[in-house]
Each structure stands twice: as C-alpha cells, then as structure tokens.
Chain A
C-alpha cells in the first residue's frame, strides 16, 4: 500500500496531465465519430457547435437556449426541464470539482498546448500585476451574470431574439474547437442582422485575443471564464477537494510560483484548510511542487489521493534539472 502511495505521490504530473488531457480532448472533440455521447450537461467546454465530432455538449449552450424561452413557458412546466439540466450539470461537476478545468476542458488543453509551444520556442511568460489580477478576476462573474440575464431578457421580449446564445457568440471555443474536425464555418461574421454582426465580430476579436493571450499568459482565458465562476458557486460539496495543512507550510511560495492562475492564497493562507479559490483549475501543480510532506493534498470523498511529499518534489525537480533538450 505504501509503495502504491509513494508511486502516486512521485508521479511525473506534467506527463500524467498531458496524457489525461489528450485522452479527454479526443473523447470530447472526436468522440462523436465513435458514437460517444455524454449528454448536454457537461461542466466543461465540449463545444456543441462541433456538430460532427462532439462527444457531449457544454452545459452553457442548452442553458442559454432554455433561459431564452418565453417567460410563460420558462416559469411553467418547462422550468422543471431547466432544473433537470442543472441537476445533471451539478452531478457531473460534483465528481471532479474544478478538475474539469485542469484535466478535461478542451479549451484549457489547447491553452496548455500553446504554452508548451511557447516554452519550446524559449519565450518567457508574462504575469499580471496583483492589482490587475484582482480586477480581472471579477470579469468572469460579470460574464456569468450577462450570460443568464440576456437570455432571460430575450424570453421576456425585452431584448432582440437574435442575441440567441450571447456567450457562445463570443466564446473562442465556438470558433476554435470545430476547426479540429475540419469545420471552419464558425470563423465568419454573421451579417444577417446588426446584432449578429456585432456579436460575431466580437467573437472573432475574442478568439484572436485568446490565441495571442494564451501564447504569452498561461491559461489566459480561464481568468474570464463564466463556467469557472459557475463552478465556484457550486464547489463546496464537490467530491474532489484541494486541502492545505497550514502548520506544515513553510510559505516558501513554490506552489504560488508554479500556479498558472497566479493564486497567492495557495502559498500565503495557513489557517483555512479548504484552499481552493475561484480561479483554481485544479491542475494540482501546486501539490506536485510542494516540498513539504502532506502540506497540500487532493482528496476524493475525504480519501487522500495525491499528496505533496519531499521525495516526489525532489524526483520531479531532478528530472527538470537533467532534461537536456526540453525547457518544459
């Protein structure tokens, strides 16, 4: 048992994550070709616009559709349907918590690939300043609110119908993910009405920003992701958890400096054991880069599954010291 535990805690997390992310990318982006259908309540960007290949659908698409029903329908029996969808979404989410972001989200995986490309080219990353970070962190809640209010407004005939699924319009996933199955049709500006024109143009802009941003900033888009905001609101009862034992922490900051999401609390907070913050993507890099035995750990239903250890840390860093060719 101890051997198995040591092997897990000493895992080469980078490699493990790469393989797992690749697996889920194939499952969600090409799964449709193999008759995979995980439903339409997935708590991750399995883009529904990827008609042919999708192995499931991102919950935000049906959610916006449903909320745009006329108020009479929505607040009647159809409301139950909406609740049912939300329930499935929540159940999926509870299993992995934000692990959906760090291990499954295809858009997140694409950003990690772009990061790999950057490090291979030897280009350094950029970081936000602390002030920028605090402000940017709020945008995702704003997007989440708009994503709910705009469809509701449409349903109440307060807003024009052609705003349809406003977040999908500006989501870079809609343009980028279908391209992986050879569908470039989303990469256009829709000139049918003024609203669609504005929204799709905005979408183009965001996609451009996404590609450029992700090149310089690790997980650039995740700071703004309304799905991440929705996740955080539900994260308390989730089964996968990130925990910290503050007494064992030396506040060396190793976890903070490897954090793609620049979450300072992971290093500085020593009182609250439930350490997961709203921006967290549960990639568990912090656990892998913590040299203190048991200071950080991921637990599933209360059982520790991956824990920081001195040996694991040394093993992973030694690999970095001796990897001759790859900077990452």
Chain B
C-alpha cells in the first residue's frame, strides 16, 4: 500500500533513527553478556539486517498485518498469505504516533500507528494488503478507523469482552469465520481442509519448538537468558515461519547440549524473575535487559509478545474444516490471559503456576503508562502473589529512555531484597 500521507518523516532520517535505536539495543544484548548461545547468532543477524540495514523480509503471497495475538494466523497462512504482527516497540514511532492518540495513551498503540503512518517503516508496512485489527482494548479498537484513514484496508475482527460464556465463544467463532470469508475475498483462494491442515501443522511445529525452549528455561541454574528469549519470540512477529522454527530448533538442540555439560547462563544464586504485564517488543526490551544487566534472570514470562502468543496449542477432534476453524477460534480466545477480559482469574492462576514450575523468586510487572487494563489489574495480581509470599515489582513505564537510570536503581534494589530474603531463608 503506497498511499501513505506525504507529510510523514522523510525515509532516510526515519531509518537512521530507528536503526540507531535498534543497534544500541542489539549491541547491549550481544556485548554485555558473555557466552551467548551460538544459535542466537541467527536472531542477532536477523534483527541487524531487518532493523539496522532495512533489509526487507521476503514473504509469500499477500502480506496481512495483524495488530494483536487474537488474529488466527493459521487462517492467513492457509489462504497462501503471510501474516506480520504490527505491534511496534520503537520510541521513534511512539513519538510519531503521539499525534493520533491522547497524551496518556499506550506507547504500543501509538508506535504501531506511528509506524503505519511513517513512510519507510520497519518491519515493512508498504506492501500490506490488509490489516486485521482485533477489537481488544479500547485503544486498539479506536485505532482501527485511524489506520483506515491512512489508506490501509482494515478488517475489524470482533472479539467479545468476556470469554467465559458460551455466547461469547460462539460469537467469536462466527467472527473468525467472517475473517475467513474476508481473506477469501482478498486472496481469491479457497479455504480447504488440506491447506488449513498444512498451515496448522506449520504453526504447531513452531509452537512445539517454543514449548521446548520454554521447558528448557525451567532448569536451575538458568540455561538461557530472558533477553534472548524475548528476541526469539519477537522475531516470530515478522520472520519466515519455517525458517524461524528451524532456528529455534537449532537453539534448543544447543541448549540441550549445554544442559548436559552443566552450563550456567547466570550465577547460581541469580534471582529468577517471572515477567508479566505489557509486552516487551523490540527494540523496547528495556526492562528485561535491565533486570539481567543487574544480575537477575528472566526465566519465564506471561506477556503477549512471547508466552501468550506461542504457548497454547490447538486441539482438533475431527479434521474437517468446521472443527478445525472452530478449534482455532477457541485457541485464540479461551486460554488468553489478556487483561481486557472481564475476569482475570486465569491470569492469576497462570502466574502462580509459572512461578511454581520455574522456581521463581520474584515477579516484575510492567505496565505501559496509558495501558489502563494492566494498570487496573495490578492490585489483584499483587494480592494473589503476596498471599503466596512471592515478591513483586510493579513498574509503570513507556518507550522513552528517560527513566532508565531510575528504573535500574529500583530493579537493583528489588533483586537485592530477593537475594537477602533467600540468604535469610537458608
């Protein structure tokens, strides 16, 4: 789509700002830590090529943007199209997007709008032929019309505000079927049992690879750092699906080898952190990186840029089109722990289970300033964790680098208090 307004920032400047942001972060991720896994090189290179050098990622068929994890990507693949997730983590685009939204809005939504508005954004937004915008939070819902006004074609994927009731489930299943119709119109292809099954096999393989990686992070002392884990899952946003999966499988093989050799990615007593809340999206990996630079290790997460996006898998009973599509719909609604839904018991239970399974010492809760739903769930999550004796650090932040100094002090203090607790417990 080439109809972006011309008043957007000039491409060269744009690329350089974005590239600098990415490069600074990648340097920190690569150089501040010794013994990065060899297999991570693929991901470091990928981000350097795409974000720093502006190299386009090749894609098959029609390019369909998605603005949330609720868009069933198997459907998009089944129509021979390629999904790319548009949720953006760049401060540069956050500033551009600020023109569209009220002052106190979510930086993720602003950055997404900014990147769509800008001319030469990374990842590539020029060739988008459709944007699937699930009606999740208010800000994303309202962004829809703004994106359309920029000249993109938008499909509002209607998501119910509750997920418990059977009515909500059926409403969502219908909504997903309507998306399939829209995609058929767009691509001129037909959805068949075979092409959907092939698409599902591809994502299932990717999810399996993710789950293996996820399980490997249970090992104590830590085998793998969270900053790399977030980079891996962030690559899933735009990378070629099969290439991504193969790279993760290589990474898993290497980590398994390291596990046998008794390798330690962090100190034995490094506080093990569970990360929750607003999603770290490249290049805004500020918080996880600060945690690990301060000597902690992020062993698990409950965010929509990693675990929530890739963990849950689809079950099918009868491999007929109706059961497969409904199965997909269920997978994208039922297990989701997004705070936009009426209740958050599932999120509480998920956090407690992750904390237990991954021997977590503390939880870091990131809330983007302006992301009301995460801000609103802060209390309930804090109470549940406190009841279990799990310390939590609540951090309200955004994409700007201004609060880095202040944050690193708070994180250091938090990690120090965890270490003291552990020492006293012994």
Contact = CB atoms under 8 A, between A and B. Distances in A.
A287 to B, nearest CB: 12
Interface centre among A252, A255, A310, A328 (most CB of B within 10 A): A252
Interface in B321-352: 321-323, 326-327, 330-331, 334-335, 345-346, 349-350, 352
Contact of A327 (B198, B200, B318): B318
A241 B320 CA distance: 31
Interface stretch (A87-95, A183-191, A317-325): A317-325
A130 B166 contact: yes
B319 interface: yes
Interface stretch (A16-24, A51-59, A264-272): A264-272
A317 B211 CA distance: 15
A108 B335 CA distance: 31
Contact of A124 (B201, B322, B327, B330): B322
B323 A250 contact: no
Nearest to A324: B194
Nearest to A257: B330
Interface string A289-325: 1010000000000000000001001100110111100
B318 A328 contact: yes
Interface centre among A125, A255, A317 (most CB of B within 10 A): A317
A322 B201 contact: yes
A306 to B, nearest CB: 16
A249 B327 CA distance: 17
A291 B352 contact: no
Contacts of B326: 257
Contact of B334 (A122, A267, A270, A314): A267
Given A253-B334, A268-B164, A247 B315 contact: no
Interface in A220-269: 246-255, 257-258, 264, 267-268
Given A122-B320, A257-B315, A314-B204, A251 B352 contact: no
B215 to A, nearest CB: 8
Given A289-B317, A314-B208, A317-B204, A252 B312 contact: yes
A37 interface: no
A270 B164 CA distance: 13
Nearest to A268: B164
A258 B317 contact: yes
B316 interface: yes
A257 B331 CA distance: 10
B193 interface: yes
A187 B331 CA distance: 46
Nearest to B166: A130
Given A313-B313, A318-B201, A328 B335 contact: no
B48 interface: no
A323 B301 CA distance: 34
Contacts of A268: 164
Interface centre among A248, A255, A257, A322 (most CB of B within 10 A): A257
B49 to A, nearest CB: 31
B353 interface: yes
Contacts of B346: 250-251
A268 B326 CA distance: 18
Contacts of B155: none
Interface size class, chain B = 35 or more
Contact of B319 (A248, A249, A328): A328
A195 interface: no
Nearest to A267: B334
A318 B211 CA distance: 15
Given A125-B323, A289-B315, A321 B204 contact: yes
B137 to A, nearest CB: 21
A251 B335 contact: yes
A16 to B, nearest CB: 16
B306 to A, nearest CB: 15
A119 B319 CA distance: 8
A253 B335 contact: yes
A264 B166 contact: yes
Contacts of B318: 119, 124-125, 327-328
Interface in B120-178: 164, 166, 169
A291 B330 CA distance: 14
Interface string A111-134: 000000001001011000110000
Contact of A250 (B321, B335, B352): B335
B359 interface: no
Nearest to B212: A310
Contacts of B410: none
B29 to A, nearest CB: 29
Contacts of A248: 353
A285 interface: yes
B330 A252 contact: yes
A232 B201 CA distance: 39
Contacts of B320: 119, 122, 124, 327
Interface in B346-371: 346, 349-350, 352-353, 356
B395 to A, nearest CB: 26
Interface of B: 164, 166, 169, 193, 197-198, 200-201, 204, 208, 211, 215, 311-323, 326-327, 330-331, 334-335, 345-346, 349-350, 352-353, 356
17 contacts: A119-B320, A122-B193, A124-B320, A124-B323, A125-B318, A252-B334, A255-B315, A258-B315, A289-B317, A291-B312, A291-B315, A310-B215, A314-B208, A314-B313, A317-B313, A321-B204, A327-B318
Given A252-B313, A314-B313, 7 more contacts: A125-B318, A125-B323, A246-B349, A247-B356, A249-B349, A252-B330, A254-B315
